[in-house]
């Protein structure tokens, strides 16, 4: 059996293809459903019990995935053929060790490590691959941050190099706010309680017109790109997305070139270490007011904004990810839109604030209009604010689709028990 021709269809038999998910959120849940449809055996691990993907997997485990000893013990127990990291807080040294012992890490141990580290990723994208980015500097101290900010200029953005979803990020308008930005980068980032000092990236605040995500798929058939996805964010977190986005042919060409080049560069790193580099990548791009496109970041897994593909494409980003990591070929035809020509699909994140179990009612009314859908993630509880569901819709244009998806969300009655 080769990685391009894995045995499928006997998940409870003697020789199943065994897939281990590290992280069991709503995106992983959808990928697991697609893997189970293709006959793989799946175990979902997370730091707590009852995570969305754990509810649909064959088995689940609860552990601290950033703890190398615990993660190594999990690998020894499960003996996975394929390991799928779904979160950033993972002991990457153990991923590399697992890859050396023959496990297929998705998309690769090397790629997972690069994409977790904004410094390594930016150096690869701009300095090795020549992709356009905002002016930037890295800093390991407050003094270096002050000097870097003077070079890139104000306003600028300060981010910890090892974080995500806007955690620890600040927009700095003048030099007197730099100290506060350094503090936020240290205390607001993920894993801030580990006691170390985080390096940061400071980059110029680009004259942004809008943002795009280009889902890019690496498979046994090569690399292809999906139609770009438009998005709206709040404090670094996705709130709405729509596909296809509105763009000129010039912007489309730039976006596809940057996305393909970035993923080609990452996959080349994987191949050098003997890994496959297969899977879906969410390439995040800035489109500036003058029409130029800049590389921002890349997620080595299905992207939040790509939830819209559950409505817009015959094969969602989750189905594409499942197929790619199993060694199945993905061609440009596989990533085509499936909605009627001239229409647009949209997604609307449903974020709930409070403390307790979240119950949804009035679903019948919310989904009464044709061309709408809903995914409830079934997360056990909310403490503070948490994305608990996503509304989906198809409309005559982006505004119509976004309005319909928003209406689904607004029609729900949400109780916190």
pLDDT on residue 165: 63
Domain annotation covers residue 6: no
The verdict on whether 166 is a catalytic residue reads yes
* Cα separation, 106 vs 66, whole angstroms: 17
Closest CA to 51 of 375, 388, 307: 388
Q: Is 96 helix (H, G, I), strand (E, B) or coil?
A: helix
6 is in an annotated binding site: no
In the predicted structure, residue 114 carries a pLDDT above the cut 80: yes
The verdict on whether 130 is a catalytic residue reads no
Element (H, E) at 340: none
Domain final position from 176, 204, 232: 204
Whether the bond between 249 and the residue before it is cis, its omega within 30 degrees of 0, is no
Residues 155, 253 within the same domain: no
170 is in an annotated binding site: no
Residue range 225-268, pLDDT digits in tens: 999 999 999 877 899 999 999 999 999 999 999 999 999 999 99
Chain Cα centroid distance, residue 156? 24
What value does the mean pLDDT of the chain take? 95
Q: Pick the catalytic residue: 17, 261, 305, 312?
A: 305
Domain annotation covers residue 119: no
Residues 270, 330 within the same domain: yes
Strand partners, 395: 344
CA dihedral 218, 106, 280, 392 (to 10 degrees): 160
Residues 235, 383 within the same domain: yes
Residues 242, 359 within the same domain: yes
Domain annotation covers residue 129: no
Closest CA to 43 of 31, 30, 54: 54
206 is in an annotated binding site: yes
Residues 32, 159 within the same domain: no
204 is in an annotated binding site: yes
pLDDT on residue 2: 72
Residues 167, 242 within the same domain: no
142 is in an annotated binding site: no
Residues 52, 176 within the same domain: no
Average pLDDT for residues 176-182, to the nearest whole number?
A: 96
pLDDT on residue 121: 96
Residue range 130-144, pLDDT digits in tens: 999 999 999 999 999
Q: Pick the catalytic residue: 108, 133, 134, 164?
A: 164
Average pLDDT for residues 264-274, to the nearest whole number?
A: 96
Residue range 42-90, pLDDT digits in tens: 999 999 999 999 999 999 999 999 999 999 999 999 999 999 999 888 9
Residues 71, 185 within the same domain: no
Q: Pick the catalytic residue: 110, 184, 275, 304?
A: 304
Strands (E), 262-323: 279-288, 293-299
37 is in an annotated binding site: no
pLDDT on residue 237: 87
Residue range 283-338, pLDDT digits in tens: 999 999 999 999 999 999 999 999 999 999 999 999 999 999 999 999 999 999 99
* Cα separation, 402 vs 61, whole angstroms: 37
The verdict on whether 284 is a catalytic residue reads yes
Percent of the chain with pLDDT over 90: 91
In the predicted structure, residue 105 carries a pLDDT above the cut 80: yes
pLDDT on residue 327: 97
Residues 345, 403 within the same domain: yes
pLDDT on residue 163: 63
pLDDT on residue 342: 96
Domain annotation covers residue 13: no
We report the CATH number of the domain holding residue 382 as 3.30.470.20
Number of domains in the chain: 3
pTM to 2 decimal places:
0.95
In the predicted structure, residue 5 carries a pLDDT above the cut 60: yes
Domain that holds residue 395: 208-416
Chain Cα centroid distance, residue 23? 12
pLDDT on residue 198: 85
Q: Pick the catalytic residue: 387, 395, 402, 411?
A: 387
Residue range 182-237, pLDDT digits in tens: 999 999 876 655 557 889 999 999 999 999 999 999 999 999 999 999 999 987 78
Q: Pick the catalytic residue: 70, 297, 373, 381?
A: 297
Domain annotation covers residue 3: no
205 is in an annotated binding site: yes
We report the CATH number of the domain holding residue 91 as 3.40.50.20
* Cα separation, 328 vs 333, whole angstroms: 14
Domain annotation covers residue 1: no
Phi, then psi, of 104 in degrees rounded to 5: -90, 110
CA dihedral 346, 351, 357, 358 (to 10 degrees): -40
70: exposed, middle or buried (Cβ count in 10 Å: 0-12, 13-18, 19+) = middle
Average pLDDT for residues 156-161, to the nearest whole number?
A: 94
Percent of the chain with pLDDT over 70: 97
pLDDT on residue 190: 66
Residues 377, 274 within the same domain: yes
In the predicted structure, residue 4 carries a pLDDT above the cut 80: no
168 is in an annotated binding site: yes
Domain final position from 86, 105, 124: 105
We report the CATH number of the domain holding residue 180 as 3.30.1490.20
pLDDT on residue 40: 98
Domain final position from 89, 105, 121: 105
- Note the residue count of the chain: 417
Q: Pick the catalytic residue: 39, 50, 166, 354?
A: 166
Residues 334, 225 within the same domain: yes
Q: Which two tokens stand for residue 161?
A: 């190099």
Residue with tokens 């995040």: 284
The verdict on whether 69 is a catalytic residue reads no
Domain annotation covers residue 373: yes
pLDDT on residue 47: 96
Residues 302, 357 within the same domain: yes
Residue range 359-396, pLDDT digits in tens: 999 999 999 999 999 999 999 999 999 999 999 999 99
Q: Is 94 helix (H, G, I), strand (E, B) or coil?
A: helix
Domain annotation covers residue 116: no
The verdict on whether 304 is a catalytic residue reads yes
């Amino acid at each position: 059996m080769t990685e391009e021709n894995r045995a499928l269809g006997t998940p409870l038999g003697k020789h199943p293809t065994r897939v281990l998910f590290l992280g069991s959120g709503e995106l992983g849940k959808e990928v697991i459903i697609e893997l189970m449809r293709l006959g793989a055996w799946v175990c979902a691990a997370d730091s707590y019990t009852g995570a969305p993907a754990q509810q649909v997997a064959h088995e689940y485990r609860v552990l601290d995935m950033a703890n190398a000893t615990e993660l190594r013990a999990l690998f020894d127990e499960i003996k996975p053929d394929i390991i799928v990291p779904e979160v950033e807080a993972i002991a990457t040294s153990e991923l590399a060790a697992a890859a050396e012992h023959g496990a297929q890490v998705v998309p690769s141990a090397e790629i997972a490590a690069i994409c977790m580290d904004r410094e390594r990723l930016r150096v690869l994208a701009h300095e090795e691959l020549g992709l356009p980015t905002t002016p930037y500097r890295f800093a390991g101290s407050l003094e270096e941050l002050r000097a870097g900010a003077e070079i890139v200029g104000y306003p600028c953005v300060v981010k910890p190099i090892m974080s995500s979803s806007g955690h620890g990020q600040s927009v700095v308008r003048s030099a007197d706010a730099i100290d506060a930005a350094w503090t936020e980068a240290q205390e607001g980032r993920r894993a801030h309680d580990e006691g170390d000092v985080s390096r940061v990236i400071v980059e110029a605040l680009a004259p942004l017109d809008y943002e795009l995500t280009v889902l890019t798929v690496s498979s046994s058939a090569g690399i292809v790109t999906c139609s770009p996805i438009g998005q709206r964010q709040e404090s670094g977190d996705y709130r709405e997305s729509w596909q296809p986005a509105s763009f000129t042919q010039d912007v489309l060409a730039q976006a596809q070139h940057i996305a393909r080049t970035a993923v080609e560069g990452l996959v080349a790193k994987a191949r050098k270490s003997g890994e496959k580099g297969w899977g879906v990548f969410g390439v995040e791009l800035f489109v500036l007011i003058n029409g130029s496109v800049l590389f921002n970041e890349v997620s080595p897994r299905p992207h939040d904004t790509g939830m819209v593909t559950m409505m817009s494409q015959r094969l969602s980003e989750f189905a594409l990810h499942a197929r790619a990591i199993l060694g199945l070929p993905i061609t440009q035809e596989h990533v085509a839109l499936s909605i009627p020509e001239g229409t647009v699909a949209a997604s609307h994140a449903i974020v709930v604030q409070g403390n307790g179990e979240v119950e949804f009612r009035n679903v019948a009314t919310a989904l009464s209009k044709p061309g709408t859908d809903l995914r409830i993630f079934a997360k056990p509880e909310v403490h503070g604010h948490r994305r608990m569901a996503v509304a989906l819709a198809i409309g005559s244009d982006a505004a119509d689709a976004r309005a319909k998806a928003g209406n689904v969300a607004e029609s729900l009655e949400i109780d916190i028990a």
